[in-house]
Structure 1
Amino acid sequence: MSRGIYITANDKVIEQAIALMKSIRMYDSETPVVLIPYDDNYQKIASILTESYGVEIYQDLEFIDRLSNQLYQIFGEGFFARPNQFRKQACWFGPFEKFIYIDTDIVVFDKIIETTNYLDESDFICYDYQHKGGITNVFTPKIFADGVLEESDIQDLFNGGFWGARKNLISEETLYETFSECAAHPEYFDFSQKTSDQPIINYMILKKIPRRFNIVRRPGGAPGSWAGSKHFQVTGERQIVDPNVNQPLEYLHWAGIRIKPGCPYWEIWKYYRYLDEPMPDDESLQPKTKSNLWQTIKKIVGERF
């Protein structure tokens, strides 16, 4: 296949995966989407996505397990809080010649596969302002002080939730070699907030792929994408504009933000999740907390006695 989209998900993120796929299919009914299971608990979400949105399951599940386990073991047992994040590296070896990877805590506002057009002139693309926030959650200053990377490389830092590339640009051996390099020098990477793959994958792209392009640097600029940005202007149920460049967003990413009533741009996410479904009230969508559970138990007990 010439181009397509990869996502990862399991049964714990069913709601987010549905919202993402509804937004993708709203603007694009044809582009193939492949699910890389986040773990073995994915049967329910796989059934929903395949039946309702034409999503396919990554064919070689044994390869995904082997790849992610070997990458995890390079750093040693227990080093990473979320080792299954490495499973997305199967993107390099899947069916698409050109692809984008999208996290499930994202909704899109356009035919997002068109971003792969930038791969005509580049080998790797990203689309965010991660670099504006400095090197937190990616590197420590020591990696620049020791000359491993140049200060100018900071402008190419990216968020691991949305990126695109060409198939086989990174080999399996390159992945193992890169992880080994990083494991030998953990002092170069910022794992303080329990991030897993983002520091290592940024390092790999910076060191191995010179023809890379961040879409926000296109002529005329490009909009942001992080839901933590407060300056975006919502102009409709599914329209949101970045006034800094006077352009509509192409996607919105709730990275590091729990998607629930009251979160930033909640109405946008809710619109896509319940597209073509009855719209529930926010109270019914509030996450169940331990205190709420205890209150329910007390109420039941009180009613009985």
Structure 2
Amino acid sequence: MKPSNFAMDGICTLANDSVYDQLVALINSIEANAGRDLPICIYPYDDRLDRVRQLVSERPQVQLYCDRTSLDRWDSFVEEIWATHPTAQQQWQAIGSHGIHRQGTHRRFCAFDGPFDRFLYMDADTVLLSSVEPISQALETCDWVTYDYQHKDLTHVFTVAAPQLSQIFSAEQLRRQAFCSGFYAAKRGTFSPDQLGPILGYLQQGEAAVLYPMAPDQTILNYLVMRTGLASCNLALSLSVDQATGNSITSTHFTVEAGQVYDRGHPLTYLHYIGVSSRLFRQLCAGENVDFPYREVFLHYRYLHDPTSRPRLMGRLKPYQSVPGWRRYLSALTRQLTLGKSSGTQR
């Protein structure tokens, strides 16, 4: 069922050709569950955009963000931020990452200059599954709206061992306002140049030590939202226990029916394929029989408008446990499920 009054001006995402298959699935899911005419803006992760441009040419409601001034301004801003961090470069070099780690992820910040006054940002590794009316309603009274359980694990939000963290943010702030940067609603102009100048000053005075360099865009967004005192709302905390649903594929208790996913009978707003390498999506769409949680949901939306192109998967099923690169993800999965069980809300 389509939402009766989708108050967002559009949905934003971040992509390049490496995540083409995920991008198609996301756009198809938005068309199916929010309407075919809802505008979508893609922010370029980098310049690998040949397939993305072709996709944009085929979807009249989709645009590729090309404001070079905006892109350069945010690129420069994050370079200034990470120049203030005491150990980021050493940490990145230790894992073989040169320059700013995953610098393209910061391009999502361009949405604050972008075409939509009110927007929902969704990572390319998500699919929209139902109306986001509760999110648009929350944006009427809040500046920033999220819907996730990242607050259960702050280690991917801030450097929790940094002594400055408790001096800058209260325990209540961290418990209620920490969020995953893969899904949030906000407004154009949320962070003005007048706000960003003082932010750099705080970081240069030592607050940069709280930033977590391995999730560079997520830590900066959390810092910006909390440090500027935005009125934020996390529906995972504000909705009743009976209404709130999970969103991550790390949850194993969801049920699936005809491409829709349910948490204890309630439809998910979105599903986040967090931790799944884009390489696995490409291999799957090339016909390789690789497995990962809720694979059929992804395939449903990836080939929603072109079912005849859906690949016939060849060979024995390769469980994701045996696919290279998944060992670290399994460790994170176990950690998150343990956190969920200990809190009584495995989501």
Taking structure 2 as the reference length, the TM-score comes to: 0.74
- CA deviation map 1:100-158 (0-9, x unaligned): 11110001112447622211111110111111224434331435664111011122111
Structure 1: 5+ residue stretches without partners: 291-305
Decide which moves more: 62-71 or 97-106.
62-71
Partner of 1:271: 300
| 2:260 corresponds to | 239
Output aligned runs, 1:1-305, within 5 Å: 3-27=9-33, 28-52=35-59, 54-76=61-83, 78=98, 80-112=100-132, 115-143=135-163, 146-154=166-174, 155-175=176-196, 177-179=198-200, 181-182=202-203, 184-191=206-213, 194-221=214-241, 222-234=244-256, 236-243=257-264, 246-258=265-277, 259-260=280-281, 261-277=290-306, 278=308, 279-283=310-314
Distance 2:253 2:120 in 1: 27
Q: Secondary structure at the match of 1:89?
A: helix
C-alpha deviation, 1:72, in angstroms: 1.9
Shift of residue 203, structure 1, vs aligned partner: 1.1
- CA–CA separation in structure 1 for the residues paired with 2:164 and 2:247: 27
Secondary structure, aligned partner of 1:120: coil
* Displacement after TM superposition at 1:165 (Å): 0.9
Q: Which amino acid aligns with 1:241?
A: Y
Question: Displacement, 1:46?
Answer: 2.1
Partner Cα separation in structure 2 for residue 50 and residue 117 of structure 1? 32
| Aligned equivalents of 1:283, 1:173: Cα separation in 2 | 56
Could you say what secondary structure the match of 2:199 adopts? helix
CA distance in 2, matches of 1:142, 1:219: 32
Residue 217 of structure 1 and its aligned partner are, at CA, apart by: 2.5
Task: Provide the secondary structure at the position in 1 that maps to 2:59.
Answer: helix
CA RMSD of aligned residues (A): 2.7
> How many residue pairs get matched?
284
Contact 1:17 1:104 in 2 (8 A): yes
User: Which segment is superposed worse, 73-82 or 201-210?
Assistant: 73-82
Tell me which amino acid in the other structure corresponds to 1:242. D
Residues 100 and 214 of structure 1, relative CA distance in 2, 3 Å threshold: same
TM-score normalised per structure 1: 0.83
Runs of 4+ in 1 over 6 A off after TM superposition: 284-287
Shift of 1:257: 2.1
What is the distance in 2 between the residues matched to 1:66 and 1:134? 29
Secondary structure at the counterpart of residue 225 of structure 2: helix
Aligned AA (1:23): S
Question: Taking structure 1 as reference, are residues 121 and 257 closer, same or farther at Cα in structure 2, changes over 3 Å only?
Answer: same
Partners of 2:301 and 2:224 lie apart in 1 by 34
Residues 29 and 114 from structure 1, CA distance in 2 versus in 1: closer, same or farther, beyond 3 angstroms?
farther
Q: 2:122 & 2:8 partners in 1: Cα distance?
A: 18
SS at match of 1:142: coil
Deviates more, 1:111-120 or 1:220-229: 111-120
Alignment partner of 2:27: what SS? helix
Cα 1:24/1:75, change in 2 over 3 Å: same
